[in-house]
Amino acid sequence: MIDHVTPLADWLVIAPVLLCLLGAAVLLMLRSFIRVQRWVGGAVLVAVLVCDGLLFQRVLEDGPLTMTMGKWLPPFGISFTADVMGAGFALVSAFVSLCVWVYVQSDTPESAVRDGIYPLILLLVAGVTGSFLTGDLFNLYVWFEVMLIASFGLIILAGQPLQLDGAVKYGVLNFLATTLFLAGLGLLYGLLGTLNMADIIGAAAAADPAPLAAVGALIALAFGVKAAMFPVNAWLPASYHTPPPAISALLGGLLTKVGVYAFVRTLVMVLPTVGEYLAPTIAILGIATMILGPLSAIAETNLRRAIGFLLIGGVGVTILSVASGNETALAGGLAYVAHSMLTISALYLVMAGGGGAILSFILILAISGIPPFLGFWPKLLLLQGFIGAGEWPYVFAILLNALLTLIAGVRLWSGTFWRSPLKSFTPNPAFLLLTTPILLLGLWPEWLIRAATVAARDLLAPARYIASVGLAP
């Protein structure tokens, strides 16, 4: 019997996760050496970024890539499967994490370092990356738990009363969502006999549609809570403003995007019949989320709470693309997720962290979808898809979201930099690192549009994904 040895290049699928987990363990052992922790953790994140970049380039050119753990072949073993959507989101999340790491070096007291902020950041990145790259729904649940533990630790790190209050709200509702997800997984396994995403696609086609729709709706509800979709989003503005700006940027840029990713992956690719059945409800909730988010930001006086509401409005944009189900609109929704990762994280750092007025205004225009910044192109793709499908209410909702977001953003900017006394601007390399791709991808969006289109196509027609796992008929 000949053992099948995994080629070294295929280890790219799990290398980012392994690096983060090993890095977090090493940093715990280096707890007393603050300066060493900074350099070791930074080196780990650079290595993760390089691995994610190589992985993304490979799957964009050659299609999805799968690695299954141990000698248990799919669908019995735990598989990691990277496609353009998962690898792309992992790449952006690694970049955002590295930028936040740079910011943390000049804005974090030594007490937070001794309490474990560096290992917690790496553990959070491991959970986020594992969620994007896993090919198994139960394994997705495991990475959700990793993220929940790490994020809860980051929120309560300084131990201030406001942070503890936010952590309780965040922890309780996210634990409830995770419990709903686990219950849905048990029911789904009982119904289909598998939790491998590629295997579910085939098994679900032959299953009884009524119980499958009920189970799918339960899982969608769990992901809706994680994504901060209306009406289960009250926990986000109540918690994300409580930790320091760097932690808010990390949570706002990454965590809700994992919920959105899981929502899209499940209802578009894994359980498409459930997605079609729930499409009218998804459309209503998506529109409500994308309109009420910026409206709440307009009425909010707390800066970071208002950014949280803008974040929620962006969640609704991608949720609406799921309801539409056409390739162009879905590509726009996926591109919007990548844009939101960068722009929301930058907003938290630049505005809440005392950044400059010009950078803040650029980010306000970007989050509103004003050309020539990055946010314009995802909304243009969404409009093209909706107009092509004749979905005019969706077109109106996108335009209204852009207008309300612009009003809310300009109001925040004027209140921060016009009415208040002029603040001293302390430049930080993280500001420039995060703002640069927002500008460059806005001016040269071809790469983003191509990647988003390929990702949407693979979600709607997952033959390449299934074949990579080895389950093609």
pLDDT value at 406 more than 50: yes
For residue 161, count other CB atoms closer than 10 A to its CB. Answer: 8
Structure tokens at 85: 């959507």
Which of 81-85, 417-421, 457-461 bottoms out in mean pLDDT, i.e. has the lowest? 417-421
Which of 177-191, 211-225, 297-311, 335-349 bottoms out in mean pLDDT, i.e. has the lowest? 297-311
CA distance 468 to 201: 14
Q: For all residues of the chain together, what is the average pLDDT?
A: 89
CA distances from 449 to 50, 381, 445 (A): 22, 8, 6
For 199-246, how does the pLDDT look when each residue is reduced to its tens digit (9 = 90+)?
Answer: 999 899 888 889 999 999 999 999 999 999 999 888 888 888 888 888
Residues in contact with 206: Cβ distance below 8 Å, sequence separation at least 6, in sequence order = none
Q: What are phi and psi of 252, to 5 degrees?
A: -65, -35
For 44-90, how does the pLDDT look when each residue is reduced to its tens digit (9 = 90+)?
Answer: 999 999 999 999 999 999 999 998 877 777 778 888 999 999 999 99
Residue 240's pLDDT is: 85
Tell me what percent of the residues of the chain surpass a pLDDT of 70: 93
Of the two residues 357 and 120, the one the predictor is more confident about is 120
Q: How many residues does the chain have?
A: 473
For 264-277, how does the pLDDT look when each residue is reduced to its tens digit (9 = 90+)?
Answer: 999 999 999 999 99
pLDDT value at 1 more than 50: no
CA distances from 12 to 5, 50, 107, 160, 162 (A): 15, 10, 33, 40, 41
Nearest Cα to Cα of residue 108 among 306, 252, 249: 249
Structure tokens at 316: 């609704």
Preceding amide of 16 cis, omega within 30: no
pLDDT value at 30 more than 90: no
CA distance 347 to 95: 15
pLDDT value at 106 more than 60: yes
Residue 401's pLDDT is: 95
Structure tokens at 425: 């601007």
CA distance 154 to 306: 21
pLDDT value at 423 more than 70: no
Tell me what percent of the residues of the chain surpass a pLDDT of 90: 64
CA distance 325 to 308: 27
pTM of the full predicted structure? Answer: 0.94
Q: Predicted confidence band at 117 (pLDDT cuts at 50, 70, 90)?
A: confident
pLDDT value at 426 more than 90: no
Of the two residues 163 and 64, the one the predictor is more confident about is 64
pLDDT value at 421 more than 60: no
pLDDT value at 3 more than 80: no
Residue 41's pLDDT is: 93
pLDDT value at 448 more than 80: yes
Stretch 357-369: mean pLDDT: 88
